[in-house]
Amino acid sequence: MDLASVVGMCLAWTMMGLAVYLGGGRLGSFFDTSSILIVLGGGLGATLMCLPLRVISNSPSVLRKYFRHQPLDIARLVRQLVEFAEIARRDGILALDARLVEIKDPFIKLGLQLAVDGARPEVVEEVLSAEIDAMAGRHKEGKLLFDNIGRFAPAFGMIGTLLGLIMMLGNMTDPSTIGSGMAIALLTTLYGAVFSYASFLPMAEKLAFVSKQEILARDIVIKGILAIQAGENPRVIEQRLNTFLPPQQRMHRNAA
Protein backbone atom coordinates (compact mmCIF):
# COMPACT_ATOMS: atom_id res chain seq x y z
CA MET A 1 0.00 0.00 0.00
CA ASP A 2 1.22 3.50 -0.83
CA LEU A 3 1.52 5.07 2.61
CA ALA A 4 1.76 8.65 1.31
CA SER A 5 -1.59 8.37 -0.50
CA VAL A 6 -3.41 7.03 2.56
CA VAL A 7 -1.76 9.37 5.06
CA GLY A 8 -2.25 12.40 2.82
CA MET A 9 -5.97 11.82 2.35
CA CYS A 10 -6.53 11.02 6.03
CA LEU A 11 -4.54 14.10 7.07
CA ALA A 12 -6.53 16.44 4.82
CA TRP A 13 -9.92 15.21 6.05
CA THR A 14 -8.83 14.92 9.70
CA MET A 15 -7.47 18.47 9.81
CA MET A 16 -10.75 19.83 8.47
CA GLY A 17 -12.73 17.87 11.05
CA LEU A 18 -10.36 19.00 13.80
CA ALA A 19 -10.73 22.63 12.73
CA VAL A 20 -14.51 22.32 12.99
CA TYR A 21 -14.25 20.72 16.42
CA LEU A 22 -11.79 23.29 17.79
CA GLY A 23 -13.93 26.07 16.38
CA GLY A 24 -16.85 24.92 18.47
CA GLY A 25 -18.86 23.43 15.62
CA ARG A 26 -20.72 20.15 15.63
CA LEU A 27 -19.53 17.62 13.07
CA GLY A 28 -23.05 16.30 12.70
CA SER A 29 -24.23 19.66 11.39
CA PHE A 30 -21.82 19.31 8.47
CA PHE A 31 -23.48 16.18 7.14
CA ASP A 32 -26.32 16.38 4.63
CA THR A 33 -27.26 13.43 2.44
CA SER A 34 -28.95 15.53 -0.25
CA SER A 35 -25.84 17.68 -0.69
CA ILE A 36 -23.61 14.62 -1.04
CA LEU A 37 -25.95 13.12 -3.64
CA ILE A 38 -25.95 16.31 -5.69
CA VAL A 39 -22.17 16.68 -5.68
CA LEU A 40 -21.11 13.05 -6.16
CA GLY A 41 -24.08 11.98 -8.28
CA GLY A 42 -23.96 15.07 -10.44
CA GLY A 43 -20.17 14.87 -10.86
CA LEU A 44 -20.36 11.20 -11.81
CA GLY A 45 -23.22 11.85 -14.22
CA ALA A 46 -21.33 14.64 -15.97
CA THR A 47 -18.25 12.42 -16.15
CA LEU A 48 -20.34 9.67 -17.76
CA MET A 49 -21.32 12.17 -20.45
CA CYS A 50 -17.63 12.90 -21.10
CA LEU A 51 -16.12 9.42 -21.05
CA PRO A 52 -17.13 5.99 -22.34
CA LEU A 53 -18.61 3.53 -19.88
CA ARG A 54 -15.51 1.34 -20.26
CA VAL A 55 -13.40 3.99 -18.54
CA ILE A 56 -15.88 4.35 -15.68
CA SER A 57 -16.05 0.59 -15.17
CA ASN A 58 -12.26 0.52 -14.76
CA SER A 59 -12.45 2.84 -11.74
CA PRO A 60 -11.95 -0.01 -9.18
CA SER A 61 -8.63 -0.97 -10.79
CA VAL A 62 -7.61 2.70 -10.91
CA LEU A 63 -8.38 3.05 -7.20
CA ARG A 64 -6.30 -0.04 -6.46
CA LYS A 65 -3.49 1.54 -8.47
CA TYR A 66 -3.74 4.68 -6.38
CA PHE A 67 -3.82 3.07 -2.94
CA ARG A 68 -1.67 -0.02 -3.55
CA HIS A 69 1.06 1.47 -5.70
CA GLN A 70 4.56 0.68 -4.51
CA PRO A 71 7.32 3.19 -5.33
CA LEU A 72 9.54 1.85 -8.09
CA ASP A 73 13.09 0.90 -7.12
CA ILE A 74 14.98 2.31 -10.11
CA ALA A 75 18.34 1.47 -8.54
CA ARG A 76 17.34 -2.19 -8.26
CA LEU A 77 16.17 -2.14 -11.87
CA VAL A 78 19.56 -0.81 -13.01
CA ARG A 79 21.38 -3.48 -11.02
CA GLN A 80 19.22 -6.16 -12.60
CA LEU A 81 19.90 -4.94 -16.13
CA VAL A 82 23.64 -4.73 -15.48
CA GLU A 83 23.54 -8.29 -14.15
CA PHE A 84 21.88 -9.45 -17.38
CA ALA A 85 24.54 -7.55 -19.34
CA GLU A 86 27.29 -9.37 -17.46
CA ILE A 87 25.72 -12.76 -18.20
CA ALA A 88 25.32 -11.90 -21.89
CA ARG A 89 28.90 -10.63 -22.05
CA ARG A 90 30.31 -13.71 -20.36
CA ASP A 91 28.14 -16.52 -21.74
CA GLY A 92 26.42 -15.01 -24.75
CA ILE A 93 22.97 -13.49 -25.06
CA LEU A 94 21.35 -16.92 -25.49
CA ALA A 95 22.34 -17.67 -21.88
CA LEU A 96 19.62 -15.23 -20.80
CA ASP A 97 16.97 -17.64 -22.07
CA ALA A 98 17.41 -19.74 -18.93
CA ARG A 99 16.84 -16.69 -16.75
CA LEU A 100 13.53 -15.67 -18.30
CA VAL A 101 11.48 -17.89 -15.97
CA GLU A 102 12.91 -16.00 -12.97
CA ILE A 103 11.85 -12.58 -14.26
CA LYS A 104 8.56 -11.35 -12.81
CA ASP A 105 8.30 -8.10 -14.76
CA PRO A 106 6.50 -8.98 -18.03
CA PHE A 107 7.96 -5.94 -19.80
CA ILE A 108 11.57 -6.96 -19.08
CA LYS A 109 10.74 -10.55 -19.97
CA LEU A 110 9.24 -9.50 -23.30
CA GLY A 111 12.26 -7.39 -24.20
CA LEU A 112 14.80 -10.05 -23.30
CA GLN A 113 12.76 -12.73 -25.09
CA LEU A 114 12.80 -10.65 -28.27
CA ALA A 115 16.53 -10.09 -27.93
CA VAL A 116 17.22 -13.79 -27.27
CA ASP A 117 15.05 -14.76 -30.25
CA GLY A 118 17.23 -12.64 -32.50
CA ALA A 119 14.78 -9.85 -33.31
CA ARG A 120 16.37 -6.81 -34.90
CA PRO A 121 17.08 -3.94 -32.47
CA GLU A 122 14.63 -1.65 -34.25
CA VAL A 123 11.92 -4.29 -33.89
CA VAL A 124 12.67 -4.71 -30.18
CA GLU A 125 12.48 -0.95 -29.68
CA GLU A 126 9.29 -0.67 -31.72
CA VAL A 127 7.48 -3.42 -29.81
CA LEU A 128 8.54 -2.15 -26.39
CA SER A 129 7.74 1.45 -27.28
CA ALA A 130 4.27 0.36 -28.40
CA GLU A 131 3.81 -1.32 -24.99
CA ILE A 132 4.76 1.95 -23.28
CA ASP A 133 2.34 3.95 -25.44
CA ALA A 134 -0.50 1.53 -24.64
CA MET A 135 0.26 1.72 -20.92
CA ALA A 136 0.43 5.53 -21.01
CA GLY A 137 -2.96 5.59 -22.75
CA ARG A 138 -4.52 3.45 -20.04
CA HIS A 139 -3.01 5.61 -17.33
CA LYS A 140 -4.24 8.77 -19.04
CA GLU A 141 -7.78 7.41 -19.05
CA GLY A 142 -7.60 6.64 -15.33
CA LYS A 143 -6.32 10.13 -14.54
CA LEU A 144 -8.98 11.68 -16.78
CA LEU A 145 -11.69 9.95 -14.76
CA PHE A 146 -10.67 11.66 -11.52
CA ASP A 147 -9.82 14.90 -13.29
CA ASN A 148 -13.36 15.15 -14.60
CA ILE A 149 -15.08 14.31 -11.32
CA GLY A 150 -12.81 16.78 -9.52
CA ARG A 151 -13.57 19.45 -12.10
CA PHE A 152 -17.33 18.96 -11.99
CA ALA A 153 -17.74 18.55 -8.21
CA PRO A 154 -17.41 22.29 -7.35
CA ALA A 155 -19.81 23.19 -10.16
CA PHE A 156 -22.46 20.81 -8.84
CA GLY A 157 -21.77 22.12 -5.36
CA MET A 158 -22.72 25.57 -6.59
CA ILE A 159 -25.76 24.17 -8.40
CA GLY A 160 -26.88 22.48 -5.18
CA THR A 161 -26.47 25.75 -3.29
CA LEU A 162 -28.57 27.62 -5.83
CA LEU A 163 -31.27 24.94 -5.68
CA GLY A 164 -31.27 25.15 -1.89
CA LEU A 165 -31.54 28.95 -1.92
CA ILE A 166 -34.38 28.85 -4.42
CA MET A 167 -36.31 26.37 -2.29
CA MET A 168 -35.57 28.36 0.86
CA LEU A 169 -36.68 31.68 -0.65
CA GLY A 170 -39.79 30.02 -2.02
CA ASN A 171 -40.86 29.12 1.51
CA MET A 172 -40.43 32.22 3.68
CA THR A 173 -43.48 31.62 5.89
CA ASP A 174 -41.28 30.72 8.87
CA PRO A 175 -38.33 33.17 9.21
CA SER A 176 -36.79 31.01 11.95
CA THR A 177 -35.86 28.35 9.38
CA ILE A 178 -33.90 30.72 7.15
CA GLY A 179 -30.63 30.26 9.03
CA SER A 180 -30.69 26.46 8.96
CA GLY A 181 -31.84 26.47 5.35
CA MET A 182 -28.97 28.75 4.35
CA ALA A 183 -26.49 26.51 6.17
CA ILE A 184 -27.71 23.42 4.35
CA ALA A 185 -27.58 25.25 1.01
CA LEU A 186 -23.98 26.33 1.61
CA LEU A 187 -22.99 22.80 2.61
CA THR A 188 -23.30 21.72 -1.01
CA THR A 189 -20.70 24.27 -2.09
CA LEU A 190 -18.46 23.08 0.74
CA TYR A 191 -18.84 19.45 -0.35
CA GLY A 192 -17.99 20.34 -3.93
CA ALA A 193 -14.76 22.08 -2.90
CA VAL A 194 -13.74 19.43 -0.35
CA PHE A 195 -14.37 16.41 -2.59
CA SER A 196 -12.57 18.13 -5.46
CA TYR A 197 -9.49 19.53 -3.72
CA ALA A 198 -9.09 17.02 -0.89
CA SER A 199 -9.79 13.85 -2.89
CA PHE A 200 -10.30 13.68 -6.64
CA LEU A 201 -7.80 16.22 -8.02
CA PRO A 202 -4.93 15.10 -5.72
CA MET A 203 -5.67 11.50 -6.72
CA ALA A 204 -5.45 12.47 -10.39
CA GLU A 205 -2.10 14.17 -9.85
CA LYS A 206 -0.75 11.16 -7.96
CA LEU A 207 -1.80 8.87 -10.81
CA ALA A 208 0.02 11.15 -13.25
CA PHE A 209 3.17 10.98 -11.11
CA VAL A 210 2.98 7.19 -10.88
CA SER A 211 2.54 6.97 -14.65
CA LYS A 212 5.63 9.12 -15.28
CA GLN A 213 7.68 6.91 -12.97
CA GLU A 214 6.56 3.74 -14.71
CA ILE A 215 7.28 5.22 -18.14
CA LEU A 216 10.76 6.24 -16.94
CA ALA A 217 11.40 2.71 -15.66
CA ARG A 218 10.37 1.20 -18.98
CA ASP A 219 12.52 3.66 -20.92
CA ILE A 220 15.46 2.50 -18.81
CA VAL A 221 14.60 -1.11 -19.62
CA ILE A 222 14.54 -0.38 -23.36
CA LYS A 223 17.93 1.34 -23.23
CA GLY A 224 19.38 -1.49 -21.17
CA ILE A 225 18.07 -4.29 -23.39
CA LEU A 226 19.20 -2.58 -26.59
CA ALA A 227 22.67 -2.11 -25.08
CA ILE A 228 22.77 -5.78 -24.03
CA GLN A 229 21.69 -6.84 -27.50
CA ALA A 230 24.41 -4.67 -29.04
CA GLY A 231 27.00 -6.45 -26.88
CA GLU A 232 28.15 -3.34 -25.05
CA ASN A 233 30.46 -3.59 -22.08
CA PRO A 234 28.48 -3.93 -18.81
CA ARG A 235 30.59 -1.13 -17.32
CA VAL A 236 29.40 1.21 -20.08
CA ILE A 237 25.80 0.09 -19.64
CA GLU A 238 26.08 0.67 -15.91
CA GLN A 239 27.39 4.20 -16.38
CA ARG A 240 24.71 4.99 -18.93
CA LEU A 241 21.83 3.75 -16.78
CA ASN A 242 23.28 5.37 -13.67
CA THR A 243 22.49 8.76 -15.19
CA PHE A 244 18.82 8.13 -14.38
CA LEU A 245 19.63 7.89 -10.66
CA PRO A 246 20.63 10.53 -8.12
CA PRO A 247 24.38 10.29 -7.30
CA GLN A 248 23.86 8.68 -3.88
CA GLN A 249 21.89 5.78 -5.41
CA ARG A 250 24.21 4.99 -8.31
CA MET A 251 25.85 1.60 -8.37
CA HIS A 252 29.62 1.39 -8.73
CA ARG A 253 31.23 -1.97 -9.17
CA ASN A 254 33.64 -3.58 -11.53
CA ALA A 255 32.01 -5.23 -14.53
CA ALA A 256 33.55 -7.90 -16.68
Within a domain: 233: yes
Determine the pLDDT at residue 256: 39
| Cβ-proximal residues to 195 (8 Å cutoff; 6+ apart), any chain | 39, 40, 43, 149, 150, 153
pLDDT at 194: 94
14 belongs to a structural domain: no
pLDDT given at position 26: 81
- pTM value? 0.83
Rg, Å, the chain Cα set = 26
Residue 17 identity? G
Q: How far apart are CA 80 and CA 41, in angstroms?
A: 47
pLDDT tens string 16-50: 989 888 888 788 888 888 889 999 999 999 999 99
Residue 5 lies in a domain: no
Instruction: Determine contact, residues 96/84, Cβ cutoff 8 Å.
Output: yes
When divided into structural domains, the chain yields a total of 1
Whole-number pLDDT of residue 179: 66
For residue 93, the tally of other CB atoms under 10 A from its CB is 18
**How many CA atoms are closer than 13 Å to the CA of 233, on its beta-carbon side?**
6
Structural domain contains residue 218: yes
Confirm whether 85 is domain-assigned. yes
Q: Is residue 67 part of a domain?
A: yes
Residue 24 backbone phi and psi in degrees, to 5: 90, 5
**Distance from C-alpha of 141 to C-alpha of 124, rounded to nearest angstrom:** 26
Q: What is the pLDDT of residue 2?
A: 75
- Residue 28, domain member (yes or no): no
Q: Output the pLDDT for position 168.
A: 78
Structural domain boundaries enclosing 149:
33-249
pLDDT-flagged residues of the chain (< 50): 254-256
CA distance 236 to 82: 9
What does 167-214 look like in DSSP terms, one character per residue? Answer: HHHT--S-GGGHHHHHHHHHHHHHHHHHHIIIIIHHHHHHHHHHHHHH
Q: Which of 10, 61, 217, 237 is nearest to 128 (CA)?
A: 217
Closest residue by Cα to residue 253 from 91, 86, 88, 90:
86
Is residue 22 in a domain?
no
